[in-house]
């Protein structure tokens, strides 16, 4: 019971620590973000994240998922559309991944790249962003499925112009110096560029006609599987050798694990340490019961202490008779003999005679060894009859 209480106490403390961690947890990374360096992950519900965009597509009936593998894992029509939104510079796709992305697009995939700096070559299309685009100067350049219902986009002050070299490029929204939204055909697939993540971010999706433009990105293509690239936001990968802990970065989980390890160490220390006086080592008896009885009998015989031997035997016999008869230990001998004999079904006079003779010997009257043996045998016979009675 003591151990159970200790375990419950430790479990309660651990639960309290978890509650406190969750209650007072502050995402400091979110406080350090800005429009220029904010995380655009679809897992993020901060003002610069894109969780609202992900939820919008899902509730609009699109088959939306998250890609947490390198671009080398892309397969034709798995997914049909890939959305890459402003990955951090340290996690940008490498050359091998771009080669895989090019083959996937040329095979019929649609890549939607949303970033202020887009300098890539995918197939025959060369894309490069340049000068900043004043927010008020951006407008639709021509009526297309991507501009349907869009009167004005709400852009940040960091929006840029993109220029696409190659055949079949279309500028949808921009000005004379470039586009903020453009697309081009690459093989059997399509490449869509949007140069301001603010349009699909949590803090910009609800401004002006941004939500309409965000949905128009998929208006002229069949509803297939859409995947948000999260691998290049640090999900599903080991960053700087951190392994599993990279997944929990920025959460209170590492602190919970450390506290659990500390509590486990305290438990091990508590159960392994003695908090009371030492218990003496048990000593095994070196003699058997028979040897003890034989020795005591020999000592009693040599000392001619027959009265002492009878006193010990008779006192225990009388106690058992009292318990058997349900009488107090100081009951009169005659009454005790009558009650015990009545319940055991024996002769009360014989039992009374035995009790009185034992009392005389216990009081010091001399007795021969043969009579003492007979008296003890009669006592054992009566005890046997008492045991056999329920």
Query: 231 and 119 in one domain?
Result: yes
pLDDT at 1: 47
Distance set, CA 239 to CA 135, 232, 233, 236, 252 (Å): 36, 11, 10, 9, 18
Question: What whole-number distance in Å separates Cα of residue 142 and Cα of residue 172?
Answer: 6
| Helix 306-325 with 369-388: angle, nearest 10 deg | 20
Give the span between the Cα atoms of 287 and 112, in whole angstroms.
Answer: 93
**pLDDT, tens digit (0-9, with 9 covering 90-100), for 208-222:** 888 888 888 887 766
Crossing angle of the two packed helices 306-325 and 348-362, in degrees rounded to 10: 140
8 found inside a domain = no
| Domain containing residue 383 | 289-388
Within the chain, where are the H helices? 2-24, 28-31, 51-59, 95-106, 210-216, 253-272, 289-302, 306-325, 333-344, 348-362, 369-388
If asked whether residues 39 and 153 sit together in one domain, one would say yes
Structurally, the chain folds into a number of domains equal to 2
Domain boundary among 222, 250, 278: 250
Distance CA 123, CA 189 (A): 10
For residues 236 and 300, membership in a common domain is answered with no
225 and 296 within one domain = no
Residue 218 lies inside a defined structural domain of this protein: yes
CB 73 within 8 A of CB 104: no
Q: Which residues contact 366 (CB under 8 A, 6 or more apart)?
A: 306
Same domain, 214 and 125: yes
Give the C-alpha separation, 171 to 343, whole Å: 116
Q: Flag whether 266 is in a domain.
A: no
**Residue 16 domain-assigned (yes or no):** no
pLDDT of residue 239: 46
In a domain, 81, yes or no: yes
pLDDT digits (tens), the chain, 390 positions = 455 666 676 677 667 766 666 555 555 555 567 777 788 888 888 888 899 889 988 888 888 999 888 888 888 888 888 999 988 888 888 888 888 888 888 888 888 888 888 777 776 666 666 666 655 456 777 888 888 888 888 888 888 877 777 667 888 887 766 788 888 888 888 888 888 888 888 888 888 888 888 888 887 766 789 999 988 888 876 544 445 555 555 566 777 777 778 877 877 777 766 666 777 777 766 655 556 556 655 666 665 666 666 777 778 888 888 888 888 888 888 888 888 888 888 888 888 888 888 888 777 777 777 777 787 788 888 777 776 665
Same-domain pairing of 357 and 301: yes
Taking CA atoms, 65 is separated from 139, 229, 306, in Å, by 31, 9, 99
The whole-number pLDDT of residue 228 equals 92
Q: Locate 43 and state its tokens.
A: 């897992």
Same structural domain, 219 and 334: no
Residue 221 is assigned to a structural domain of this protein: yes
Residue 17 lies in a domain: no
pLDDT at 140: 75
My answer on whether 235 and 309 are in the same domain is no
Query: Do 194 and 104 have their domain in common?
Result: yes
CATH number of the domain at 197, please.
3.40.50
* Domain end point (choices 250, 274, 299): 250
Same domain? For 305 and 224 the reply is no
Residue 185 and residue 308 in one domain:
no
| Domain final position from 233, 250, 267 | 250
Question: What's the token pair of residue 64?
Answer: 């939306």
Kindly state whether residues 177 and 83 are assigned to the same domain.
Answer: yes
Q: Using N-to-C axis directions, what is the helix angle for 289-302 and 306-325, rounded to 10°?
A: 130
In a domain, residue 258? The reply is no
- pLDDT, residue 241, reads 44
- Return mean pLDDT, the chain: 77
What are the structure tokens assigned to 270, written together? 């508590």
User: For 154-190, what is each residue's pLDDT tens digit?
Assistant: 888 888 877 777 667 888 887 766 788 888 888 888 8
């Amino acid at each position: 019971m003591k151990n159970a209480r200790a375990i419950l106490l430790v479990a309660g403390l651990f639960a309290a620590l978890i509650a406190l961690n969750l209650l007072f947890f502050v995402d400091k990374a979110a406080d350090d973000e800005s429009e220029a360096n904010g995380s655009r992950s679809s897992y993020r519900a901060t003002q610069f994240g894109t969780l609202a965009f992900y939820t919008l597509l899902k509730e609009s009936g699109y088959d939306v998922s998250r890609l947490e593998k390198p671009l080398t894992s892309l397969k034709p029509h798995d997914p049909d559309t890939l959305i890459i939104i402003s990955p951090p510079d340290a996690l940008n796709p490498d050359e091998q991944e771009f080669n895989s992305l090019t083959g996937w697009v040329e095979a019929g995939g649609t890549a939607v790249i949303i970033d202020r700096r887009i300098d890539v070559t995918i197939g025959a299309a060369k894309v490069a962003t340049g000068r900043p685009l004043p927010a008020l100067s951006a407008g639709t350049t021509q009526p297309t499925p991507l501009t349907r219902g869009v009167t004005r986009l709400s852009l940040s002050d960091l929006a840029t112009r993109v220029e696409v070299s190659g055949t079949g490029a279309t500028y949808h929204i921009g000005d004379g110096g470039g586009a903020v939204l453009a697309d081009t055909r690459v093989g059997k697939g399509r490449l869509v560029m949007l140069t301001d993540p603010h349009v699909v971010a949590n803090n910009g999706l609800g401004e002006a006609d941004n939500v309409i433009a965000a949905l128009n990105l998929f208006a002229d293509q069949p509803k297939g599987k859409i995947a948000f690239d999260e691998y290049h936001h640090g999900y599903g990968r080991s960053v700087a050798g951190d392994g599993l802990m990279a997944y929990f970065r920025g959460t209170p989980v590492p602190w919970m694990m450390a506290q659990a390890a500390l509590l486990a160490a305290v438990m091990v220390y508590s159960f392994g340490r003695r908090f009371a006086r030492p218990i003496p080592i048990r000593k095994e008896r070196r003699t058997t019961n028979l040897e003890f009885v034989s020795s005591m009998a020999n000592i009693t015989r040599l000392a001619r202490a027959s009265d002492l031997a009878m006193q010990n035997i008779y006192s225990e016999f009388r106690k058992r008779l009292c318990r058997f008869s349900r009488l107090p230990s100081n009951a009169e001998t005659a009454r005790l003999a009558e009650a015990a004999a009545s319940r055991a079904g024996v002769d009360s006079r014989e039992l009374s005679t035995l009790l009185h003779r034992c009392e005389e010997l216990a009081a010091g009257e001399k007795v021969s060894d043969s009579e003492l043996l007979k008296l003890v045998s009669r006592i054992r016979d009566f005890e046997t009859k008492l045991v056999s009675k329920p």
